[in-house]
Amino acid sequence: MTMKLAIGSLAVASAFVGTALAQEHPKMPAGMTHEQHQAQMKKEAELKEHGQMAMGFDQDQATHHFTLTPKGGTIAATANDASDVTTRDHIRTHLLEIAASFAKGDFEKPLMTHGEMPPGVTEMQQSQADIKYSYEQTDKGGMVRIVTSSDRALEAVHEFLRYLIREHATGDPLSVQK
């Protein structure tokens, strides 16, 4: 093999490896150190892994949305692929269980997913009688509707949902939607 051919092959291989690594490693956000970016990626990977265990479906196959409403809010999840009935059915099972467990004051699944008890949960548990949770099936998944007339409970529900919006990086509004 000639020197030119060897150098050319090395350049092509380096470009390929660089491209492959760039696809697996998300671009570092502006203003973030390398260490902060590494910590963020580790946390996101753990969230996906723990979420799959707690929720029963692959987090990359579904999309979450959290909405703050004047009377509470919603937790929704949908299968990314309309033909993926397995993910859709797992979402439905999970959200049905969430509505029932939250109504009993059991927030073990969010603790399991996030590795900490989300803000607002203690107040939601203390205001359990003032909060109603209902499950609704959607075409590609489901939704838990959270409703309260208590100002204290409403503040806690909104705090909880804002935490979920940030943790799941959904981009949903952090303010109340009408």
Question: What are the sequence ranges of the domains in the chain?
Answer: 43-168
Q: What is the pLDDT of residues 52-89, one digit of tens each?
A: 555 555 778 899 999 999 999 999 999 999 999 999 99
Q: Which residues of the chain have pLDDT under 50?
A: 5-6, 8-23, 50-51
Residue found under tokens 């203690």: 122
For the residues of 87-113, what is the DSSP string, one character each?
A: HHHHHHHHHHHHHHHHHTT--HHHHHH
Predicted pLDDT of residue 20:
44
Predicted pLDDT of residue 157:
98
Sign of the C-alpha dihedral computed for residues 90, 93, 98 and 99 taken in this order: positive
Give the number of other Cβ atoms within 10 Å of residue 172's Cβ: 21
Predicted pLDDT of residue 17:
47
Give the number of other Cβ atoms within 10 Å of residue 91's Cβ: 28
Query: What's the N-to-C CA distance of the chain in angstroms?
Result: 70
- Beta strands 62-69 and 141-148: pairing type? unpaired
Residues 6+ apart with CB under 8 A from 127: 148, 150, 152, 153, 156
Give the number of other Cβ atoms within 10 Å of residue 175's Cβ: 8
CB 28 within 8 A of CB 34: yes
Predicted pLDDT of residue 115:
80
The CA dihedral of 32, 36, 41, 47, to the nearest 10 degrees, is: -120
Predicted pLDDT of residue 18:
47
DSSP 3-state assignment of 72? strand
